Amino acid sequence: MIKRKSILLLLVPFLLNLVFCVNFITAVQNDISKRVDIDRSNIPKNILFGSFMGGRSHVKPMLDIATILAERGYNVILLASGNNVLSSEYPAVKQISLGPGMGMKNLGKDGIDEEQDYNAMKSLWEMGVISYKRTYEKYKSVVEDYNIDLIFCDLLINEACIDVANTLKKPVVVLVSALQIVDPKPYKFDPILGCNISLENESIWERFRCNFIQVFRYVYSLSDFTNQLNEMRKQMNVDLGQLTLGGFKASLVLIDTFFGFELPQTLPPYIQEIGPILSEEYPPLTPELSDFINGHERVLYVSFGTLYSTTTDNNSKLLQSFIEAINKKIIDGVVWALVETPKDYFYPTLKLSDGTQIQSSQILNNEHPHIHIAEFVPQFAILNHTNTKLFFNHGGAGSAHESLYTGTPMLVLPFAGDQMGNAQKLVSAGVASSLKLTTLDVNDILNKMDSLLKEENVKNNSERLKVLAKINSKRKYRAADLIEYILHSSSFVEYVDDDFLKEWVPAETRMGFIRAYNLDIYAILIGIALSIIGIIVVKLIKFIGFIISPSSDDQKSKKD
């Protein structure tokens, strides 16, 4: 009897567990799984990506987003200036040339010897105005021929792309790397206008100069181009009323940046930071490059992008500094990508600080054992190599993002556009030092290279931003998701108007600045307060006067 009770006691927990398992399995079978994917059967499918500037730095981020959308079943087309050198890297994207590529020749200079501010960049803006009609017609033709449902525009000098989208009532998405262009704040600025990137610690005079004087000078200097552009818009039947104060109207603005590199600020919902936009795969090192980098433990990689190069004097100083850095064992190897720099942009003979002379042709022809010269190299593969310790670049957004992603400290020599601002941001983040084209000095270059390689703070900041860049690099998928949402929303409307995607537009844009920030209420309250204070002051003055002044009876008695 006792044994039977003991067996029953042992079976009770087993039976309870069995009942629990059966109930759990039944519950799991009754659960409904979450489906993340969306139904794309009725969503418009044709997307045009457009860039007037062209070049890897402007086109590559667009193509990385386009590839995601192509994998989801969308038909994507790139219309950009240049000869579409990226077609082999992005076979899923149909590429059409918009015309000749842009470059330093458009600035009318053989080599740049100073940073290009907004006055120096006028030749590029003029090129955009001159090409507007041809560009507009090309965009319009492609949109109509391929039955485009959404247009994705690189913002820089690309008014025709946005105008075509708005004229044809197509949703338009804008991509830009500089946040200040699309959402200016009074405490931030763009160095291209002659002010620092941050005005947080500047004097009241400097803040006034930047926000009023410099802005007025900028607007006034471009007024001729603006008038010419608007005249051409009228000729193309573009409604000038569709333009906003910022110069364009878009359904969504995507910023190829991330806070940590970009100075923080608040953003409205229709402006989204989705950078750094980086590819999933990059070309590997060539065998020659692999052997060179593997044979050197402290490699300096040098590249100034695909648009600009500096003068013969500056190029010679740079080459001299690299040789002396190797001789002083600051580094032990250099890889220099001379993309836009011709080999005759160097002095034939270089004189080193110790009096030694060396022929530049020997180095440029790769006869130096520790310097490798090439026209084009797989940049990301070089930066990702453990032996690459420093990146000397121009401060372009793409180069900055790849360097931050790989944790490579930077020496920055900005030329134009957003590069000056990027240089200041990188220095502020503690991962870079910057130089100026007008004051290039060999000893200054050597000192900054040595400091970047030795300072512990630079290493720590580079590792910190490396993690942040890797986390944020996933957001290009969010960019594709948002574009899909716009296409999905557009399928419910006959044409895109001011109410389209109204859920993304803050009320302040419709209410106006005064009502949105309750300035009218504050004005009324201040008026009431001042009125009350005024009445009290008047009463007080009268009361004090009554006390001080002798009464009429007293005056009569004195007379008597």
Per-residue pLDDT of the chain (560 residues; tens, 9 = 90+): 444 555 445 555 555 565 555 555 555 556 766 666 777 888 889 999 999 988 788 889 999 999 999 999 999 999 998 877 677 788 899 999 888 776 555 555 567 777 777 776 777 777 888 889 999 999 999 999 999 999 999 988 899 999 999 999 999 999 998 888 888 899 998 888 889 999 999 999 999 999 999 989 888 888 888 888 888 888 888 877 655 434 578 889 999 999 999 999 999 899 999 999 999 989 999 999 999 999 999 999 999 887 778 888 999 999 999 999 999 999 999 999 987 777 788 999 999 988 889 999 899 999 999 999 998 889 999 999 999 999 999 999 999 999 999 999 999 999 888 899 999 999 999 999 999 999 999 999 999 999 999 999 999 999 999 999 999 999 999 999 999 999 998 888 776 777 788 888 888 878 888 888 898 899 999 999 999 999 999 888 888 877 877 655 555 555 55
Which tokens belong to 353? 């600080």
C-beta separation of 408 from 386 below 8 A: no
Phi-psi region of 396 (alpha: psi -120 to 50; beta: other; left: phi over 0): beta
pTM of the model: 0.84
Beta strands in 150-199 (DSSP E): 150-154, 172-176
Q: At what angle do helices 397-406 and 456-472 cross, to 10 degrees?
A: 110
C-beta separation of 453 from 298 below 8 A: yes
- The C-alpha angle 10, 11, 12, rounded to 5 degrees, equals 95
Containing H/E element for 423? helix 419-428
Strands 357-359 and 349-351: antiparallel
- DSSP-based helix, strand, coil % in the chain, nearest 5: 50, 15, 35
Give the closest residue to 252 by CA, choosing from 168, 140, 153, 161. 153
Q: What torsion, rounded to 10 degrees, do the Cα atoms 151, 400, 444, 349 define?
A: -70
3-state secondary structure of 306: coil
Q: Tell me what pLDDT residue 553 has.
A: 52
For 287-473, give the CATH class.
Answer: alpha beta
C-beta separation of 149 from 45 below 8 A: yes
Q: Tell me what pLDDT residue 106 has.
A: 52
Give the closest residue to 380 by CA, choosing from 396, 416, 404, 364. 404
Q: Give me the half-sphere count of Cα atoms (radius 13 Å) on the Cβ side of residue 325.
A: 30
Q: Which CATH number fits domain 46-115+122-185+241-279+477-509: 3.40.50.2000, 3.40.50.170, 3.60.20.10, 1.20.1280.50?
A: 3.40.50.2000
Give the closest residue to 425 by CA, choosing from 199, 265, 262. 262
Which residues have C-beta within 8 Å of that of residue 343, sequence separation ≥ 6?
A: 361, 364
Rounded-to-integer distance, Cα 508 and Cα 43, Å: 31
Which amino acid is it at 457?
Answer: N
Which amino acid is it at 380?
Answer: F
Q: Tell me what pLDDT residue 237 has.
A: 86
